[in-house]
Amino acid sequence: MEFVLIAVAILVLALVVGAALLVGRGKRTTRLDDDALGGTTLTRPRPPQPTAPPTAPPVEQPDAVVPEAPPAVELPPAEPEPGLVFETPPPSAGRLVRLRSRLARSQSSLGRGLLTVLAREKLTEDDWEEIEETLLAADVGVTATTQIVERLRTQSMVLATASGAELRELLVRELTAVLGPDLDRTLGTDRRDGHPGVVLVVGVNGAGKTTTVGKIARVLVGDGKSVVLGAADTFRAAAADQLETWGERVGVLTVRGREGGDPASVAFEAVKTGNEAEVDTVVVDTAGRLHTKSGLMDELGKVKRVVEKQAPVTEVLLVLDATTGQNGVVQARVFTEAVEVTGIVLTKLDGTAKGGIVVSVQRELGIPVKLIGLGEGPDDLAPFEPRAFAEGLVGQE
């Protein structure tokens, strides 16, 4: 008898602790390996747990001894699972200002290079050519370079008498002007018409796509949003593991598929889960390693179509590796033809002297850069702000 009471008490305690942890932040990763949906293994919240163990229907046994009903068990308050501590990332506002020193490589070649020439007493044609070459070498692009040089030339009189600080300010202003200060860089991550914001993240593998999805989840959590992740890059099992780890660190749930499974069904299930849990945003990682352009188009098109049965896609982010320069822009075109890209994430700007790539990518693709990656750390992703970025390129005194 005592044994039965203890067993019932342990079962009830386990269920209450389990339910409390799930409901606690509503974002805990739980894995349902037996889910049979189209060969898909899902990581998602379990359905609400019963608070008492199910009881079998009473069986008529006239001679059996009827057991006494167990007395009500007084449960101690649920203790959090040991080791289950979610990280609290910093909010996104002001991140670029904090991280702009990471643009050091661009700073020394672009910023310092330009300032050195501009500080010369009288600028000769050779000096203007040097300015032009410096801008082109930093991947600013021909049109923007011409624009900057022309505008600086018209200010030669000012340049001749300007102090170091004034030159710096002038250069920041001119660089900001070619960075599209008026472009709308709002991320479509908010709930709309009763559905979560749905963000599809596309791009070539190796560009930092999965890492970026993880970092975006942290940006959103840091800004107080609830998030579900979809690991629809089913080409590489490690990508889903990687994403799941990112999610777990901040208490965000990941819906994942088996290696080689159907990416669209994982994306669908992720958005469905987000819909049901009424989260703010679902972020879906997609595969980029497809052998043909038509294969890529078919797959991304299908992912978007299938997802939209659940909720409209509110943002399509294309992840580009800044260190690949113009090659990256060529790759990017394939994606922009496959799906309507609404924003660019430029990663690895900390590893290049060609910070001007932001200008040319935006101009050539006609899509605003919305986020930039400035390091391998979990919070090294910042919303793009033209002025703060230009200041980063020019550097401090």
Q: Which residues are annotated as a binding site for GTP?
A: 203-210, 285-289, 347-350
Q: Which residue has the tokens 């080409």?
A: 235
Contacts of 337 (CB under 8 A, 6+ apart): 293, 297
Using alpha carbons, list the distances in angstroms from residue 360 to 4, 100, 173, 315, 326.
72, 19, 17, 22, 9
- Would you say 44 or 209 has its CB closer to ligand GTP? 209
- Would you say 135 or 345 has its CB closer to ligand GTP? 345
- Residue 273: CB atoms within 10 A of its CB come to 23
Please, is 396 exposed, middle or buried when counting C-beta atoms within 10 Å of its C-beta (0-12, 13-18, 19+)?
exposed
Residues at the binding site are 203-210, 285-289, 347-350
- Would you say 155 or 205 has its CB closer to ligand GTP? 205
Q: Which residue is nearest to ligand GTP (CB)?
A: 373
- Please report how close the Cβ of residue 97 comes to ligand GTP at its closest, in angstroms: 17
- Would you say 96 or 374 has its CB closer to ligand GTP? 374
Contact 93, 380 (CB under 8 A): no
Q: Which two tokens stand for residue 217?
A: 């989840």
Identify which of 154, 195, 141 has the alpha carbon closest to the alpha carbon of residue 363.
141
- Please report how close the Cβ of residue 201 comes to ligand GTP at its closest, in angstroms: 9
Using alpha carbons, list the distances in angstroms from residue 48 to 10, 73, 125, 256.
19, 21, 74, 21
- Would you say 123 or 202 has its CB closer to ligand GTP? 202
Identify which of 96, 67, 163, 131 has the alpha carbon closest to the alpha carbon of residue 379.
96
Contact 40, 261 (CB under 8 A): yes
- Enclosing H/E stretch for 363: helix 357-365
Amino acid identity, residue 293? K
Contact 299, 287 (CB under 8 A): yes
Using alpha carbons, list the distances in angstroms from residue 98 to 92, 191, 321.
10, 29, 21
- Please report how close the Cβ of residue 35 comes to ligand GTP at its closest, in angstroms: 23
Strand partners, 5: none
- Would you say 209 or 354 has its CB closer to ligand GTP? 209
Amino acid identity, residue 366? G
- Please report how close the Cβ of residue 221 comes to ligand GTP at its closest, in angstroms: 18
- Would you say 102 or 272 has its CB closer to ligand GTP? 102
To 5 degrees, how large is the angle CA 318–CA 197–CA 263?
55
- Please report how close the Cβ of residue 314 comes to ligand GTP at its closest, in angstroms: 21
Contact positions vs ligand GTP (CB under 6 A): 205-211, 233, 236, 239, 347-348, 350-351, 373-376, 380
